[in-house]
Amino acid sequence: MRSKNTYILGIESSCDDTAAAVLCNGNVLSNVVANQAIHQKYGGVVPELASRAHQQNIVPVVDQAIEQAGISLADLSAVAFTQGPGLMGSLLVGTSFAKSLAYGLDIPLIDVNHMQAHILAHFIENEDTEKPEFPFLAMTISGGHTQIVRVDAHFKMTVIGETIDDAVGEAFDKSGKILGLGYPAGPEIDKRATLGNPKAFKFTRPKVAGLNFSFSGLKTAILYFIQKQLKENPQFIEENLNDVCASIQYTIVGILMDKLKLAVKETGINRIAIGGGVSANSGIRNALKEAESRHGWKTFVPAFEFTTDNAAMIAIVGHLKYLDKNYADQTIMATARLKL
């Protein structure tokens, strides 16, 4: 007979990380991620290579998650997987694996929306972080997404703003490419930004009405700026790299904070939870801390391992849906453009 504990296996394969995690009653027992280094030399994710790497990684990653959790497959209560949004070839690997495993073990299969998971990662049981009270605003910022979401309950979410072109992580990564930095460039821009002058160079902020974002114009502005400077001084990048990084980061953080302030004003909600890879950025973290003291906001930043793409966030959604007996059936399909 199965124990009263709820063990959920989460599987994430929406982009370029193959991940599996096991949660027991919402507590993380294991959280395994296999990053795909293969994309670095291409300066971005190559979908066909990602799919192939997922196929190679999925069995060892799930095995490791089960082993580290100290359980066996027979202990699992359900299998949760990312249905979308993401790259179709990548999603298909996790979806078909999860379907087969749930079928073979004769346990429930639970579909998870990746964007919902970035937000519900705040509900993973964790002594060090507090869970946000409803309603709150969630800002999901990563290489694939930029959204502000009003969250009234675990499964009552409304997108109130999103990017109309590039995601904010892309703005970091594409700027980094212009500067000759490796991929993904976000972490290096962040590191250099702490050593530079954020007001050394000024980049105009895009004018987008309401709570939507646009980052493609910024990338072009940076490109033209660098090309112009290089004409005058071929060593411009080497001589000014930290200041350029600090100025880019200052501009991006300013764009995010302006929209958050508007969202707080429009909704009257001042509890802000962030998620996604860019929430690791020191500039955005400092700006949020400052907003706590200056504007009386309450902000929530998840532990780093739960903020970049990971499977613990998929498993926590699986756990919450399992409690509601909200299961999928075997006809479910990966959906690349799944909406929140």
**Residues 205, 134: Cα–Cα separation, whole Å:** 32
* 18 binds Zn ion, rule: CB under 5 A: no
**Residues 178, 194: Cα–Cα separation, whole Å:** 20
Beta carbon nearer to ligand KG4, 108 or 302: 302
* 12 binds Zn ion, rule: CB under 5 A: no
CA neighbor of 36 nearest in space, from 73, 87, 79: 87
Q: Closest separation between CB of residue 39 and ligand KG4, Å?
A: 11
* 163 binds ligand KG4, rule: CB under 6 A: no
Q: Which does 143 bind (CB under 5 to 8 A by kind): Zn ion, ligand KG4, none?
A: ligand KG4
**Residues 50, 41: Cα–Cα separation, whole Å:** 13
Beta carbon nearer to ligand KG4, 161 or 276: 276
Look up residue 261 and give its two tokens: 């302030």
Per the rule left: phi > 0, alpha: psi between -120 and 50, beta: everything else, 75 is alpha
**Residues 304, 327: Cα–Cα separation, whole Å:** 29
* 17 binds Zn ion, rule: CB under 5 A: no
129-188 residues in contact with Zn ion (CB under 5 A) are: 142
Beta carbon nearer to ligand KG4, 256 or 272: 256
Beta carbon nearer to Zn ion, 142 or 281: 142
x/- letters, 294..313, toward Zn ion (CB under 5 A) = ---------------x----
* 84 binds ligand KG4, rule: CB under 6 A: no
* 108 binds ligand KG4, rule: CB under 6 A: no
* 111 binds Zn ion, rule: CB under 5 A: no
Helices (H) and strands (E) in the chain, counts: 9, 10
**Residues 1, 77: Cα–Cα separation, whole Å:** 12
C-alpha 11: how far from chain center: 15
1-30 residues in contact with ligand KG4 (CB under 6 A) are: 15
* 198 binds ligand KG4, rule: CB under 6 A: no
Beta carbon nearer to ligand KG4, 66 or 301: 301
**Residues 93, 85: Cα–Cα separation, whole Å:** 14
Amino acid at 10: G
**Residues 50, 70: Cα–Cα separation, whole Å:** 29
* 278 binds ligand KG4, rule: CB under 6 A: yes
Size of the site for ligand KG4 (CB under 6 A): 19
44-73 residues in contact with ligand KG4 (CB under 6 A) are: none
Cβ–Cβ < 8 Å for 236, 226: yes
* 83 binds ligand KG4, rule: CB under 6 A: no
Cβ–Cβ < 8 Å for 316, 302: no
Q: Which does 190 bind (CB under 5 to 8 A by kind): ligand KG4, Zn ion, none?
A: ligand KG4
Cβ–Cβ < 8 Å for 309, 15: yes
Give the residues lining the site for ligand KG4 (CB under 6 A). 15, 142-144, 169, 172-173, 184-187, 190, 276-278, 280-281, 308-309
